Structure 1
Amino acid sequence: MNILLWHVHGSWTTAFVQGPHSYLVPVTADRGPDGLGRARTFEWPESVREVAVGELRHTPVDLVVLQRPHEWELAERWLGRRPGRDVPAVYLEHNAPAGAVPDTRHPFADRPDLTLVHVTHFNRLFWDNGGTRTVVIEHGVVDPGHLYTGRLPRAAVVVNDPVRRGRFTGTDLLPGLAEAAPLDVFGMRTEGLAAHLGLPADRCRAQDLPQRDLHAAMAERRLYLHPVRWTSLGLSLLEAMHLGMPVVTLATTEAVEAVPAGAGVLSTRPEELARAARHYVNEPQAAAEDGARARQAALERYGLKRFLDDWERLFSEVRS
């Protein structure tokens, strides 16, 4: 089967393209947001093929996975076929709603011609989906292996654009947490974070790390800290658990479902997160034991086979 999808979310797509199909990703001359083509920082199989926009109209496509509202119009214009009518289509929603959250209506609410796929049960609950058929296919992660050493008594944090995103990502909580455990913040656009927070360099080190180096760097830190207030479910949290890291996490959005007892600490109280971070820094054996439980829980719930099997079932349904 030929599946058309845009390169929007590198980590999620890396898991999705491990399936048995051919995956067509549009590519434009400028490799802009609507035509990034293949990933350059993630390892994708050869079954992921770049297709120039001008060739799509003549390319067999069996199913379209939409991930942004404007992709509906792009797909219809570039394929010469209407998603949901001329070619089966699903809309994948990566994000939790923003704005007036209890009343946030999904852009594809009340659409009888497609299926709306949420990546967490929290997202499905909080979006107003109207009458559109909805399903939840929880994340899957390509297992990086049990790489945890925890040799550095520091906390790993993974967040993109923490200065601009501020309270969404819990950036304002980092000064208090840095008193309990020195932080190494990885991601994109992290420059100037310590100065922005007024923290000395040894308490908050920020680095824009390439994806290929991220897991090894995370696994050297004693714990993973997830201070995000409002998001879907950060794949970095699930990746940290796969690595065998104990996790210290704000008990918000889907995190309360993802982190079971014994795999780390969940709380809505920043002071409790600080206490947990301090405990793991000072007790490496406890950190390793909780990290091992975190890995087992992640493999069971967010393993790649379950993820791909769920998608295969949905493909069969929407194409029948």
Structure 2
Amino acid sequence: MNILLWHVHGSWTTAFVQGPHTYLVPVTPDRGPDGRGRARTFAWPDSVRERTPEELRRAPVDLVVLQRPHEAELAERWLGGRRPGRDIPAVYLEHNAPDGAVPDTRHPCADRRDLVLVHVTHFNRLFWDSGTTRTEVIEHGIVDPGHRYTGSLARAAVVVNEPLRRGRTVGTDLLPALAEAAPLDVFGMRTEGLADRLGLSARACRTADLPQRDLHEAMAQRRVYLHPVRWTSLGLSLLEAMHLGMPVVALATTEAAEAVPPGCGVLSNRPEVLAGALRRYLAEPDAAAEDGGRARQAALGRYGLKRFLADWESLITEVAA
């Protein structure tokens, strides 16, 4: 089966393209947001094939996976007038929790009968108003990076993109107080200047933008994973940290309370409780390793790649029939 999808979310797509199909990824000369092509920092199989808009006009496509509101019009134009959901089976994958007036936020695909709206968490499905559109939940799956945890560095790892721009949404304002409990290493895109903006010393807060192949190794060297995000769907970096065998300290918001069972870390909406947990893990490396081991088993059980691909295969078979 030929499945058309845009390269929007590298980590999610890395798991999705491990399936048994051929995956057509649009590519444009500028490799901009609508034509990134194959990933350059993730390992994707040969079944992921780049196609220009001109090539897509003639390409056989059995299913379109939409991920952004404007992709339906883009797909129709690039596919030579074939309309997702009408001429070609389609699903809309929603990665994000709603913004704005959250309890009343209408999804762009609300009240549509020509496609299936797929959420990545039950929290998302609950909070989006999807009207009469059929909705399904297929929870995240992770390509297992292996149990790499050493915890040799008495520091906390944080993974967040653009912490200065996103601010309170990702808990940037919480970092100064938490850095008093454990020195932080913040990994992600556009993290430069974070320590200066927060008034933190170079020891209290270090930043680095690492390619995916190096990120997991760096995370696993840190004693604990800190997830200070207030509002997100469910950070894949949190699930990756658990797969690595890291104990997690996180805000008990959105889907985190479901993803991190008791004994795998500490979840709380009280910053002082999170700070206490960071201090404890730094002081007790054996306890950190034990909780991290349980975190890995929990993540493998709920967010393993086999379950993820099986869930998607079931839906794909039904929708494309």
TM norm. shorter chain > 0.5: yes
- Cα displacement string for residues 181-233 of structure 1 (whole angstroms, at most 9, x for unaligned residues): 00000000000000010011100001111111000000000000000000000
**2:270, 2:130 → 1: CA distance?**
31
- Cα displacement string for residues 210-262 of structure 1 (whole angstroms, at most 9, x for unaligned residues): 11100000000000000000000000000000000000010000000000000
Letter aligned with residue 301 of structure 2: E
Shift, 1:309, TM fit: 0.2
Question: Which residue of structure 2 lines up, in the alignment, with residue 242 of structure 1?
Answer: 243
Identity of aligned residues (%): 82
Question: Which residue of structure 2 lines up, in the alignment, with residue 81 of structure 1?
Answer: 82
Question: Which residue of structure 1 lines up, in the alignment, with residue 173 of structure 2?
Answer: 172
**1:52, 1:180 → 2: CA distance?**
50
Find the residue that maps to 1:310 and give its secondary structure.
Answer: helix
Question: Which residue of structure 2 lines up, in the alignment, with residue 316 of structure 1?
Answer: 317
* TM-score normalised by structure 1 residue count: 0.99
**1:316, 1:36 → 2: CA distance?**
27
Question: Which residue of structure 2 lines up, in the alignment, with residue 218 of structure 1?
Answer: 219
**2:245, 2:225 → 1: CA distance?**
10
Structure 2: state its 5+ residue gaps.
none
**1:231, 1:261 → 2: CA distance?**
21
**1:303, 1:208 → 2: CA distance?**
26
**1:83, 1:20 → 2: CA distance?**
22
Question: Which residue of structure 2 lines up, in the alignment, with residue 90 of structure 1?
Answer: 91
Question: Which residue of structure 2 lines up, in the alignment, with residue 190 of structure 1?
Answer: 191
Letter aligned with residue 49 of structure 1: R
Residue 102 (str. 1) matches residue 109 (str. 2): no
**1:30, 1:199 → 2: CA distance?**
37
Question: Which residue of structure 2 lines up, in the alignment, with residue 71 of structure 1?
Answer: 71
Question: Which residue of structure 2 lines up, in the alignment, with residue 4 of structure 1?
Answer: 4
Question: Which residue of structure 1 lines up, in the alignment, with residue 284 of structure 2?
Answer: 283
**2:302, 2:63 → 1: CA distance?**
27
- Cα displacement string for residues 108-129 of structure 1 (whole angstroms, at most 9, x for unaligned residues): 1000000000000000000000
Question: Which residue of structure 2 lines up, in the alignment, with residue 37 of structure 1?
Answer: 37
**1:57, 1:209 → 2: CA distance?**
36
Letter aligned with residue 76 of structure 2: E
Task: Count matched residues.
Answer: 320
Find the residue that maps to 1:50 and give its secondary structure.
Answer: strand
Shift, 1:316, TM fit: 1.5
Find the residue that maps to 2:24 and give its secondary structure.
Answer: strand
Letter aligned with residue 221 of structure 1: R
Question: Which residue of structure 1 lines up, in the alignment, with residue 200 of structure 2?
Answer: 199
- Cα displacement string for residues 103-157 of structure 1 (whole angstroms, at most 9, x for unaligned residues): 0000010000000000000000000000000000000000000000000000000
- Cα displacement string for residues 67-91 of structure 1 (whole angstroms, at most 9, x for unaligned residues): 0000000111111201111110000
Shift, 1:319, TM fit: 1.8
Find the residue that maps to 2:223 and give its secondary structure.
Answer: strand
Judge which range, 137-146 or 79-88, deviates more: 79-88
Segments ≥4 residues shifted beyond 2 Å: none
* TM-score normalised by structure 2 residue count: 0.99
Judge which range, 239-248 or 72-81, deviates more: 72-81
Find the residue that maps to 1:248 and give its secondary structure.
Answer: strand
Shift, 1:306, TM fit: 0.2
Find the residue that maps to 1:34 and give its secondary structure.
Answer: coil
User: Aligned Cα RMSD in Å?
Assistant: 0.5
**2:267, 2:11 → 1: CA distance?**
24
Shift, 1:30, TM fit: 1.1
Shift, 1:171, TM fit: 0.3
**2:313, 2:42 → 1: CA distance?**
23
Shift, 1:270, TM fit: 0.5
Shift, 1:57, TM fit: 1.3
Letter aligned with residue 103 of structure 2: P
Letter aligned with residue 215 of structure 1: H
Question: Which residue of structure 1 lines up, in the alignment, with residue 119 of structure 2?
Answer: 118
Question: Which residue of structure 1 lines up, in the alignment, with residue 160 of structure 2?
Answer: 159
Residue 209 (str. 1) matches residue 230 (str. 2): no
Letter aligned with residue 155 of structure 1: A
**2:181, 2:29 → 1: CA distance?**
48
**1:11, 1:166 → 2: CA distance?**
22
Letter aligned with residue 46 of structure 2: E
**1:193, 1:319 → 2: CA distance?**
46
Structure 1: state its 5+ residue gaps.
none
Find the residue that maps to 2:145 and give its secondary structure.
Answer: coil
**2:50, 2:224 → 1: CA distance?**
38
